[in-house]
Amino acid sequence: MSSSIISKTAVELSDGLRVGTFTATEIAQAFIARVEAVEQDVRAFISYSAEDLLQQAKASDARRAKGRSLGVFDGIPVAIKDVLAEKGKRLTCGSKMLEHFVAPYDATAIAKLREAGVLLWGRLNMDEFAMGSSTENSAYQRTCNPWDLERIPGGSSGGSAACIASAEAPISLGTDTGGSIRQPAALCGVVGMKPTYGLVSRYGLVAFASSLDQIGPFSQTVEDGAMLLQLIAGQDPLDSTSFKTKIPDYRAELSRDSGPWKLGIPKEYFGEGLSDDVRRSVENAIAFYKTRGCEIVDVSLPHTDLAVPVYYIIAPAEASSNLARYDGVRYTHRSGDAKDIQQLYLKSRAEGFGAEVKRRIILGSYVLSSGYYDAYYVRAQKVRTLIRNDFMDTFKTVDALITPTTPTPAFKAGERTSDPLAMYLCDVFTISANLAGLAAMNVPCGFSAEGLPIGFQLIGKPFEESRMLAIAHAFDKEHRYGTRRPKLGKD
């Protein structure tokens, strides 16, 4: 029973619970057993509690027995990136700085999951404060790519992607600032979606770069992702940047909107540096849409090459400000041998933060300094507008864009840790959607010659997630690459 449970999608689990094929407790037991079997290899979780999961599952079963199910997600485990506040749980953000910090409140997204009867399942590993593309910047552990344990799972939401590929959770939440959902989803072969900036409340998401951060789902199928998005989307009075917009029934829209669509292929995303394997798989996906009657048009986004430099001004600038509060005074790591307040700040921060976080704080402080602000930050904001304009112009003629999600499949651990620039280029295809505030997602579309997952990226118009999901679903329902699982442990 348990091996069949862990291979199921969220939709299948939901159906099984409804008709009584299994109980939430059986689901919880199956995933606990799975984590106990493979977690030593994958190391996706910073923390989890089997006891806590079972308790939630029992409560869910009791509700259902009384006919008071809270909906399609009642009884389904969702694993959470350790950057979203969950009341009473440690909130480390992958950092020593917050090693002992316990969140006294729920993020809005977490509160919504609770209301839907979701079983909150463990805290997932990540690059420290979501800064990184390989989850090697976690202060706690290196998460391994389930398809090849020597390789990285991508990042910063490496745990969120790996736990789906390893079947340690049916579905999970991550966050995306420059590709932190889509890139690991691509490298682990699962569906991962970054909603439009403003669709999901950021309240309780520990800020990295406030104008770029969004919460989004990881799943095996597009349908599962659409269902989870349904739970967390919507304006929140606690987040002034969340947007008032009508939330459609995403799952219903998947079958209602059947195309054919007009899809743009931006030439800037298919140039040098793109591996042959990735190019071939993405082109296959494009060919699929063509056979389904979609019109495929070549488009250009001329400011694409400016996205990475602009991102590495804006994101560190905001990060340097957002991370100023971790200072050794209140709830963070506090250095034991500080003699005055200056030393307390310097030593606590020197000891509490890892190298990549320090690098970005220094970068951000520099670009905001008086005398440099106009040349860097103000200019970067102007270019950001140009990048957005590129997309908005293109969206006048196409429904969505198809690009590769990453230039290459997963690389080996340690390969890029000494070269920050090489690491930053992992996100070359994903950063623009954050800068422009668009909807974007990874759809698994094949494997490399070495058997490593590959995905394509769909970029949709702001707040038109339903169309983007429908386009993704058209491919995904026939291929279901995200439901494939690598052999792990005693499999």
Partner 1 sequence: MQYTAVIGLEVHVQLKTESKMFTRVAYRYGDEPNTLTDAVVMGLPGVLPVLNLEAIRKSIQVGLLFGSRIPDVCKWDRKHYFYPDMPKNYQITQYDQPICVGGQVEIELEGASRNVMGEHKTIELTRAHLEEDVGKLTHTGGDSLVDYNRAGAPLLEIVTEPVIYTADEAFAFLTSLKLHLLYAGLADCDMEKGGLRCDANISIRPQGSTTLGTKVELKNLNSISGVRNGIEYEIKRQIRAVENGEMIVQQTRRWDAEKGVTTLMRTKEYAHDYRYFPDPDLMPVRISEEWRQELLAKLPEKPFDKQRRFISQYDLPYTLTSVLYPLPELCDFFEAAVKEHANPKLIANLVANDLLRELSNAGLTPKKSRITPAMLAGLVRLVDDGSISKQIAQDVLIEMFASGETADVIVDRKGLKQTSDTGELEAIILAVLADNPKPVEQYKAGNEKAINALKGPVMKATKGKANPNVVDELMKKLINR
Q: Are 358 and 352 in contact, with CB atoms under 8 Å apart? A: no
- The single residue among 325, 382, 412, 477 that binds partner 1, judged by CB under 8 A, is 325
Q: Assess whether 81 carries a catalytic annotation.
A: yes
156 is a catalytic site residue: yes
Dihedral sign, Cα of residue 113, residue 115, residue 121, residue 126 = positive
Token readout for 407 is: 């230039």
Options 287, 290, 373, 450; binder of partner 1; rule CB under 8 A: 373
At its nearest, how many Å lie between partner 1 and the CB of residue 71? 26
- Give dist(CA 42, CA 33) in Å, integer: 14
Cα separation, 319 vs 395, in Å, equals 30
> Which residue stretch of 180-188, 269-277, 317-325, 419-427 sits at the interface with partner 1 (rule: CB under 8 A)?
317-325
As given in the structure block, the two tokens for residue 373 are 């602000």
Of 37-45, 155-163, 322-330, 443-451, which part binds partner 1 (CB under 8 A)?
Answer: 322-330
> Which structure tokens are listed for 102?
């316990």
Binding mask 50-89 for partner 1 (x = CB under 8 A): ----------------------------------xx----
Helix axes 222-232, 465-479, angle to 10 degrees: 150
- Name the active-site residue from 95, 180, 219, 466: 180
Across the strands, what pairs with 442?
192, 457
Interface region with partner 1, contact rule CB under 8 A, candidates 112-120, 184-192, 201-209, 224-232: 201-209
What's the order of all strands across the beta sheet hosting 214-219?
45-47, 119-124, 77-81, 171-176, 214-219, 191-194, 439-447, 453-460, 400-404, 262-266, 295-299
Query: Which residues are paired to 456 by β-bridges?
Result: 404, 443
Q: Which is nearer to partner 1, 204 or 455 (CB)?
A: 204
Catalytic residue among 81, 89, 194, 461: 81
Choice among 156, 219, 281, 348 that is catalytic? 156
370 is an interface residue for partner 1 by CB under 8 A:
yes
Write the DSSP assignment of 360-377 as a string of letters. HHHHHHHHHSTTTHIIII
Q: Is 238 among the residues that bind partner 1 (CB under 8 A)?
A: yes
Size of the site for partner 1 (CB under 8 A): 42
235 contacts partner 1 (rule: CB under 8 A): no
Contact flag: residue 422 with partner 1 (CB under 8 A): no
341 contacts partner 1 (rule: CB under 8 A): yes
**Restricting to residues 90-119, which ones interact with partner 1 according to CB under 8 A?**
91, 93, 98, 101, 103-105, 107
Name 352's Cβ contacts closer than 8 Å, sequence gap at least 6: 95, 96, 97, 326, 328, 332, 333
Identify whether the C-beta of residue 403 lies closer than 8 Å to the C-beta of residue 429.
Answer: yes
Half-sphere exposure of 224 (CA within 13 A, CB side): 30
By CB under 8 A, what part of segment 239-278 binds partner 1?
Answer: 239-241
Q: Which of 46, 130, 205, 470 binds partner 1 (CB under 8 A)?
A: 205
Q: Catalytic positions, please? A: 81, 156, 180
Interaction site with partner 1 (CB under 8 A): 84-85, 91, 93, 98, 101, 103-105, 107, 202-207, 209-211, 237-241, 317-318, 320-321, 324-325, 327, 329-331, 341, 345, 365, 368-370, 373, 377
